Structure formats: C-alpha cells, structure tokens
Amino acid sequence: MNRFNSISKNHGGFTLVELLVVIAIIGMLIALLLPAVQAAREAARRMQCGNNLKQLGLAVHNFHDTQNRLPCFTDDPVFVQNRLSRFSFLYALFPFMEQTAAYDSVLSANSRRTTPRTGNYELASWEEPFTAANSPTSSNYPTLLCPSDGNAGLWVDSGSYGNEGSTKSSYRGSLADVMVRSGTSTRDSSLRSWLRVGPARVNTSGPTPTPNTYNAGEVDLSVFMDGTSNTVLITEGVLYDGTAGGTAQSRGVDFRANVVTATYFYNQPPTNCLNLKGAGRRTVPSAVPRGNGDFGPGWRAYDVTYTYNVGVFTLLPPNSPSCSNTTNYGGVSASSEHSGGVQTVFADGSTRFISDTIHTKNLSVAIRATTAADFGWTAWPAGNHDNWVPARPIANTTGGADAVAGQPFSYGVWAELGAVNDGAAPSL
C-alpha cells in the first residue's frame, strides 16, 4: 500500500516543464489557426463586397428596364426635372437598391427648405436641406461600402459646406481610358465610357434646362459595342483615410493640388504617376491629407463636383497610385484592400476579380492633348476647346511596337475593358 501511495503522490500534478510544454503547444496551435481565421473573415468580407457589386450591377439593369436608358454620371434627367444639381449616378440607382425613402427625400428636398426657393433656381447637392445631419447625403448605405475597407466607418465633415458628414462609396463607375474634365462649370463625357453626363443641367436663368455639351446625352445598352461581358461597369476604390501615407494612393497638400508638371494623362505618360508608388501600395512621399472638407476619393458619393468622387479611370492597373493636377482633373485608379487586385462588375452583371498584374502595354507612352484635327477641323471653333474630349487615346510619342505618334493607342487589356467601344473583344 505504501508503495502505491507513494506512486500516487509523485504523479498527483503536472511539473513546471510539462505545463510549459502544454502552453507552448497551445501557442503554436493558436499561431497556426489565427491566420486561417483571419483569412476566413477576409474571404467573407470579400464575398460581401462582391455581392454589393452584383447588386449595383443589377440596379443599373433595373434602371435601364424602367427608363429605357442607362443612368447619367451626373445631371440625370430624374434630378434635373426636380431642379437638383450635380447628383451622381449612384443616387439615381437608389430606387433599385432598396433605398426608395432616401431617393424620394432627395427629389422632394425643395419642399423642406427653410427658405423655399421660387422662380429660376438650382438646388445643389450640398445645400440646405442636405446640410442636415440625417439627410440622404450624410447617411451611409451598406450596399455602397466594402467591409474589407477599414475606412468605411470614418466620418468627416464637409468643411465650408456644413457639418453634415458625407456619404461614402467603395465603388466607382468606369470612366475608361480618356481623361475628362469635371469641375464646377464643366460637364464633360468620354465616348469611351458608358457614364455620360446628362443631356442638360438646371438653368438658373429660366425654366428650360441648359444643354450640356462634349459628348453629353443619354445612352442605352447598345453603347456597349464590345459586348456587355467585355466592359467594366463598376469597380472598387479604396476610401481615403485622411492621414499621411494613407491608402488613397494620392499625393499632394490636397487631392486637387499639383502632382505632376502637367495634366496627368494628356502629354504625360502614366509612368509619371505609377512611379509615385511606394511601399504597401502607398504613394510617396505622402498621401493627401483630409484637408478642408471631404474632397477625397470615394467621399461625397452623392456629388460629381470632381470625377474622382464616384469614378475611376482604367489607365493604370488596379492598385496603382492616383494622381491629380488641378480642380478639374483627377486620375484615380481602381483599388481595394483585397490582396492582389480588385473586384469588378461587368455590364452583363457578372462579377470578376481583376489582378494587379493584368496585361498592360507601354505605360511610358504619353497621350497627346486634343487637337482640332481630331475632329476633322482645320482650326478650333469659338469656345473653350480645352474641354473637347477625343474619341480614343492618340499616342503623343512613338513607343516601340506598341505606339506610333499620332495614331490611336491602347494601354492594354485593362484599358480596353474599361472602354465601351474599343473595337476589340479583350479577354482576361
């Protein structure tokens, strides 16, 4: 009995070494499982992000079924007829995104003004009553936010336009591969993009809307000459986080400040912007600070004051830097927090993942600015010819076998996928 009692006493607990071994094993198991758990969570977020894009694609098609046309980038007739100015195409999709209440609130905004306007007036998207904290332009909508984007929950006031905050969007419409001007007094479109400005804008001098020019007007599904399965409809764009080195991949004191020596894209090769790329997909030496208000990529999703609010260009591959030159230009690239690329919904409603390494051609080739000859003219007509947008990119310089100066040029598959009328059927 004594012998058995002795054995029982000697093995009544774990030794310190045994405890350390058990703790070490548990730590190793946690270290092995944690990445798998994180990967599973990101996979779920990525799936939700793709579902959001699918919903936006369906909303575009439902809009087309109802209106017999595609939504306009800005100045859509549904807003202009209510004397509303500069609302984006995303808000035109609200009735088809289960946001009918917000949509109706926008259309009826004039009736809720503290001082109702009469006669010839223009109610802009940032004016009262949209300055209220609970307005449709200060709310955030789950369908417009990718859960993988850590900046989706950020809030920033709208600077001089009030303290209403700002609706954000992780998704941007494709503006193709021809840069267009977008400012307070200009409404330009590219024939390469499915997103055109509306045929007219609110006229502050009379009840009849003022016609927009430069490729403005309504288009329908027939615009997708390369096929709906070969044309990008909407893709992702990281929300700027307002801090130095942020993932907006932009540079300057303000997003609208000078970045390159001349307007990005026209007469400047995309490599001028691509070379600003730093570690971790961040632009060097610093990203744009938040600055005065919410003029950053993805903010002010209700507004098209600048193209980069709700649009991207398919000039550079996904997750490339974004660059701007003035208040009128912003060369925003598609971007996401997913590893290796961005999710995209095509015009046929399908969603696909586009890799950062998608085929590109010679990005050191500059596209020349528009000339009168591009339109068959010997000289520019009266007016501001800087606004004229070419039908397709024309090489400013010769770059090996890829480009011949003065001839149409393509930056590769990503650029062609962003365009509605490239004349080719690019494949991934």
If pLDDT is split at 50, 70 and 90, which confidence band does 414 have?
A: very high
In this prediction, residue 132 carries a pLDDT of: 74
pLDDT at 349 over 90: yes
pLDDT at 156 over 60: no
d(CA 342, CA 336): 6
Which of 115-119, 334-338, 340-344 ranks highest by mean pLDDT?
340-344
Convert the pLDDT of each residue in 372-408 to its tens digit: 776 677 776 665 555 566 677 788 878 777 788 888 8
In this prediction, residue 288 carries a pLDDT of: 35
Strands, DSSP E only, in 212-327?
Answer: 232-236, 311-312, 323-324
In this prediction, residue 207 carries a pLDDT of: 79
The DSSP output letter for 130 is T
pLDDT at 184 over 50: no
**pTM (2 d.p.):** 0.80
What are the helix and strand counts (H, E) for the chain? 7, 13
Percent of the chain residues topping a pLDDT of 70: 70
In this prediction, residue 90 carries a pLDDT of: 94
d(CA 110, CA 100): 17
Residue with tokens 């946001």: 99
- Does 9 fall in a domain? no
In this prediction, residue 191 carries a pLDDT of: 81
Convert the pLDDT of each residue in 193-218 to its tens digit: 899 888 888 877 777 888 777 777 88
pLDDT at 69 over 90: yes
d(CA 206, CA 280): 52
Q: Phi/psi at 232 (nearest 5 deg)?
A: -70, 130
* Residue 219: closest CA among 244, 200, 193, 239: 193
Half-sphere exposure of 354 (CA within 13 A, CB side): 34
For strands 186-187 and 323-324, give the pairing.
unpaired
* Cβ–Cβ < 8 Å for 129, 109: yes
Query: What count of residues does the chain have?
Result: 428
If pLDDT is split at 50, 70 and 90, which confidence band does 257 have?
A: very low
pLDDT at 161 over 50: no
Strand order of the β-sheet with 171-174 is 311-312, 171-174, 232-236, 341-346, 351-355
d(CA 146, CA 10): 59
R_g of the chain, CA atoms, integer Å: 26
Lowest mean pLDDT among 1-10, 14-23, 185-194, 400-409: 1-10
For strands 186-187 and 200-201, give the pairing.
unpaired
Lowest mean pLDDT among 321-330, 339-348, 366-375, 411-420: 321-330
Convert the pLDDT of each residue in 216-228 to its tens digit: 788 999 999 888 9
Give the DSSP per-residue string, 70-121. Answer: PPPSBS-HHHHTTTEESBBHHHHTGGGTT-HHHHHHHHTGGGG-SS---SS-
Helix (H) or strand (E) holding 30: helix 16-67
Beta-bridge mates of residue 182: 187
The mean pLDDT value for 89-106 works out to 92
Convert the pLDDT of each residue in 32-54 to its tens digit: 777 777 677 777 888 899 999 99
- Does 30 fall in a domain? no
User: How many independent structural domains does the chain possess?
Assistant: 1
In this prediction, residue 68 carries a pLDDT of: 94
- Does 142 fall in a domain? yes
- 107 vs 238, residue with greater confidence: 107
In this prediction, residue 66 carries a pLDDT of: 95
In this prediction, residue 267 carries a pLDDT of: 63
In this prediction, residue 362 carries a pLDDT of: 84
- Does 24 fall in a domain? no
Lowest mean pLDDT among 7-11, 71-75, 126-130, 223-227: 7-11
In this prediction, residue 346 carries a pLDDT of: 96
Mean pLDDT of the chain: 75
Token pair in block for residue 107: 């259309």
Domain around 180: 35-428
* Residue 140: closest CA among 152, 150, 124: 152
Convert the pLDDT of each residue in 312-332 to its tens digit: 888 888 888 777 655 455 677
How many CB atoms are located within 10 Å of the residue 416 CB? 25
d(CA 72, CA 80): 11
d(CA 349, CA 336): 20
Q: Which residues of 228-262 are buried (b: 16+ CB within 10 A; e: fewer)?
A: bebbbbbbbbbbbbbeeebbbbbbbebbbebbbee
* Residue 237: closest CA among 33, 423, 52, 408: 52
**Max Cα–Cα distance, the chain, nearest Å:** 116
Half-sphere exposure of 326 (CA within 13 A, CB side): 12
Name the 3-class secondary structure at 28.
helix
pLDDT at 176 over 60: yes
d(CA 322, CA 259): 10
pLDDT at 174 over 90: yes
Lowest mean pLDDT among 24-28, 94-98, 309-313, 391-395: 391-395
If pLDDT is split at 50, 70 and 90, which confidence band does 274 have?
A: confident
- Does 8 fall in a domain? no
- Does 390 fall in a domain? yes
- 202 vs 295, residue with greater confidence: 202
In this prediction, residue 74 carries a pLDDT of: 87
- Does 3 fall in a domain? no
- 115 vs 423, residue with greater confidence: 115
In this prediction, residue 228 carries a pLDDT of: 92
- Does 417 fall in a domain? yes
